[in-house]
Amino acid sequence: MSNRFVNILVPIISIILGLLVGAAVMWFSGYNPVMGYIALWNGIFGDMYSIGETIRQISPYILAGLAVAFAFRSGLFNIGVEGQLIVGWFAAAYVGMAFELPKFIHLPLALIAAALAGALWGLIPGILKATLHVHEVIVTIMMNYIALHTVNALIKAVSEGGYKTERIHPTASLRSDFLSNLTDFSTLHYGIFVALAMVAVMWFILEKTKTGFELKSVGFNDHASQYAGMNVKKNIILSMVVSGAFAGLGGAMEALGTFGNMVTRGGFTGIGFDGIAVALLGANTPLGVIFGASLFGSLKYGAGNMPNEAGVPVEIVSIVIALIIFFVASGYIIRVLLSKMKKKKEAK
Amino acid sequence: MSKRKFGLALTMVLAAGTILGACGTEKAKNNEGTGSKQGAKENNFSIAMITDTNGVDDKSFNQSAWKGIQEFAKENNLEKGDGGYDYLESKGDADFEPNLNRLVRRDFDLVYGIGYLLKDAMEIIADQHPDTMFGLVDEIADSPNVVSIMFKEQEGAFLAGAAAALMTKTDKIGFAGGMQIPVIERFQAGFVAGVAAVNPDIKVDVQYTGDFGKAELGKAVANRMYSSGVDIIFHAAGATGNGVFSEAKERKSADKNASVWVIGVDSDQYAEGQVGDENITLTSMLKRVDVAVKNISELARDGKFPGGEVKTYGLAEDGMALTDSHGAIPDDVLAKVDEFAKKIADGEIVVPEYPTK
């Protein structure tokens, strides 16, 4: 079996296994798995509206996945994507609401503000890691809480005691009548193109620039990189900053596209944490992240149709979706099994 | 060899796609079928709701709204499902718009959104579907086909405050709020006013946990309050309030004579307060979302849907009440509380809506 064949076979087997175990769960809980999966399929691809909403759901996942993957390539575990996304969300919502500018300035400005806010939130753990060797996992987790509650306070401040920011001006909006009409009034917005552009940016930085080579090299072995004359500290900080900027843009998707404002939150969005899984599913490569995000986004959005069309309760749906992702993520097990089978054959 | 297998795999994927795709179209046809059936029994008035992120069994206002819908359905012989009544739960705020859309697409006549978080989503969907009727609980929407359902939480909380002030032995009372938003501030304002109406010298310790879903925060706040001599805590904090109950129950089971009480919120929380033979639930302040939902549904069914209006439910409209205390509150205290209730319903006492700062 060629490597390429295995690479394609493994995810397919994983998804089928996940679907089967998920079906068993539905079966034993007294629901019809076939109806359930048809509902899931229709929820994702059923009509133009669902397709639009699915793509809309995928956009922030791509950016969150890129953020985790980028840091990971330099050997850093950025758990702070969630917080960077939240500050980016607020920055974009604020710039979108507070200024009145023509669209070709306003929209890019709001996006840049989100990226900068996210980058700043990544800069702090980056500096602490590079200069004082404070572990980035601890710092980024704590930065998530700081982000959540700081932003809640800021929302209160800019809305004069309210619980949400005013809606952004249309000049800062990523929404488009064209995409909306095309998909039967879904909330699909131009954000997907921003996300795909960032995929290209990440690929370009990592594969085509000297900086990217250094970043990857630090990820493989920072001592060797140091010995080779690279500035490890600078690269660690840079990696966190770029990672944070991706995450901040993910927040901008929510601010400028999906919601148009920001509401005080009691808890995290979950997108940032899901981004970790997206990045790992995509093997931390830019292209892989697109696939990981597509899987996550479609399942997350399509699952909402299972209670609607097939009457399967939300709790069971969550288990089924988690099982599918679980099996996809444990593709390694299947890989090992396949190679054992291969060895057996060869021994014969 | 490997190439052939690769080709086989590709074919299988394509085949699977086609089969699944076929399922999709078949289902779509089925949908059309039910759609026309629905048209046949047009005379049935159908209602549905979507929850906010707390789910339909939140022991709070989502559950209460669902109860109202079920009662309405029973009286009008509706069946669960298309053309009858149903609900969808939202897991995050990105679900609000799609969920509303799903229900509109299933041709429900009246769709409720439960909770202030749904305001923006509801306005957008309502503008896209001007022929569907919508009801929004706890916020005021700006669309001609949405009725906004508001409550005078301050009036119910006033009664809870009066009852607490009459029952306290330490002259210290606590208020544990969830997030500091206008709805919860109405609870606070009414509660503090109710306490002050009985005895202005009683100190009310007001604490916000900043969250509706974290029982551990509620427990910490309750611990601090009870330790500082507070004996009655009124919580308006959703699932965070469950922590207030568990702290009170722990204290009660450690010392049977401990004087700790909790006043529940939104629905009757008597069952939450059971400790062996004792119960630490003094009473619960009911927010009758069910009454409001049923009332609006009846109006809409009879063609009198108050679209674009704000309907406010207070004591006078049966939108607020205290539950049976199961003997925890003596009759003479209850009589005094009823007196307050009457005065509020008659407009003799106007309960403040905003807390004094």
Query: In which band, very low, low, confident or very high, does the pLDDT at B283 lie, cut at 50, 70 and 90?
Result: very high
> For position A327, what pLDDT does the model report?
85
Q: Which residues of B touch A345 (CB under 8 A)?
A: none
CB neighbours of A16 closer than 8 A, spacing ≥ 6? none
Using pLDDT thresholds of 50, 70 and 90, give the confidence band for residue B33: very low
Rounded to whole angstroms, the Cα distance separating A252 from A110 reads: 8
Whether A120 and A93 have beta carbons less than 8 Å apart is answered as: no
Which residues of B, range 80-99, sit inside 8 Å of A by Cβ?
Answer: 81, 88-89, 91-95, 97-99
At B8 the pLDDT is 52
Of residues A41, A259, A301, nearest to B23 (C-beta): A41
Q: Count CA atoms closer than 13 A to A45's CA, side-chain side.
A: 14
Phi-psi region of B233 (alpha: psi -120 to 50; beta: other; left: phi over 0): beta
Does the beta-carbon distance from A266 to B213 stay under 8 Å?
A: yes
Query: DSSP letter string over B103-129?
Result: HHHTT-SEEEEESGGGHHHHHHHHHH-
What residue of A is the nearest CA neighbor of B12? A12
Mapped onto helix, strand or coil, the DSSP state of residue A314 is helix
Query: Which residue of chain A is at minimal alpha-carbon distance from B127?
Result: A185
* Sequence-distant (≥ 6) Cβ neighbours of residue A108 within 8 angstroms: none
| Per-residue pLDDT at B119 exceeds 90 | yes
Burial annotation B56-81 (CB, 10 A radius, 16+ → b, else e)? bebbbbbbbbbbbbbebbeebebeee
Interface mutation vs chain A, best among B140, B181, B212, B216, most A CBs within 10 Å: B181
Task: Note whether A12 contacts B210, CB cutoff 8 Å.
Answer: no
Segments of chain A with pLDDT less than 70: 1
Q: What is the mean pLDDT of residues B113-129?
A: 92
User: Which CATH code of 3.90.1310, 1.20.120, 1.10.20, 1.10.3470 fits the domain covering A48-290?
Assistant: 1.10.3470
Q: Look at B27 and A307 and tell me if their CB atoms are within 8 Å.
A: no
Cross-chain CB nearest to B99 (options A45, A259, A304):
A304
- Choosing among A9, A13, A42, A151, which should be mutated to test the B contact, i.e. which has the most B CBs within 10 A? A42
* Residues B238/B260, Cβ–Cβ less than 8 Å: no
Round to whole Å and give the CA distance between B48 and B289. Answer: 14
- CA-nearest of A201, A306, A275, A159 to B95 is A306
Contact B157, B190 (CB under 8 A): yes
Whether B118 and B136 have beta carbons less than 8 Å apart is answered as yes
Q: Look at B28 and A46 and tell me if their CB atoms are within 8 Å.
A: yes
Closest by Cβ to B88, choosing from A45, A164, A307: A307
Average pLDDT over residues B309-329: 91
**Residue that is written with structure tokens 């009036």 in the block:** B155
Secondary structure class of A284 (helix, strand, coil): coil
Q: Which tokens sit at A152?
A: 């809640």
Contacts of B188 in chain A (CB under 8 A): none
DSSP alpha helices (H): ranges in A29-77?
A: 33-45, 48-73
CB within 8 A of B336, min separation 6: which ones? Answer: B162, B166
Task: Tell whether B210 lies on the interface with A, counting CB pairs under 8 A.
Answer: yes
CB nearest B213 (choices: A264, A267, A318): A267
Q: What is the pLDDT of residue B61?
A: 84
Do A163 and B181 make contact, defined as CB atoms within 8 angstroms? Answer: yes
Residue of B nearest to A257 (CA): B94
pLDDT in tens, B41-94: 445 799 999 998 888 887 778 999 999 999 999 999 999 888 899 999 988 888
Q: What percent of chain B has pLDDT over 90?
A: 67
Judged by a CB distance cut-off of 8 A, whether residue B27 touches chain A is: yes
Yes or no: say if A302 and A41 are a contact pair by the CB < 8 Å rule. yes
Q: Do B5 and A12 touch (CB under 8 A)?
A: no
Q: Parse chain A into domains and list their residue ranges.
A: 48-290
- The average pLDDT across B215-243 equals 93
pLDDT band at residue B4, thresholds of 50, 70 and 90?
Answer: low
Report which DSSP code applies to B235.
Answer: E
pLDDT tens-digit map of B256-277: 888 999 999 988 889 889 988 8
Read off the tokens for B79.
Answer: 């069946």
In whole angstroms, give the CA distance from residue A285 to residue A291.
10
- Note the pLDDT of residue B6: 52
B51-60, B106-115, B250-259, range with the lowest pLDDT = B51-60
Sketch out chain B's domains with CATH numbers. 42-151+292-298 (3.40.50.2300), 153-286+327-345 (3.40.50.2300)
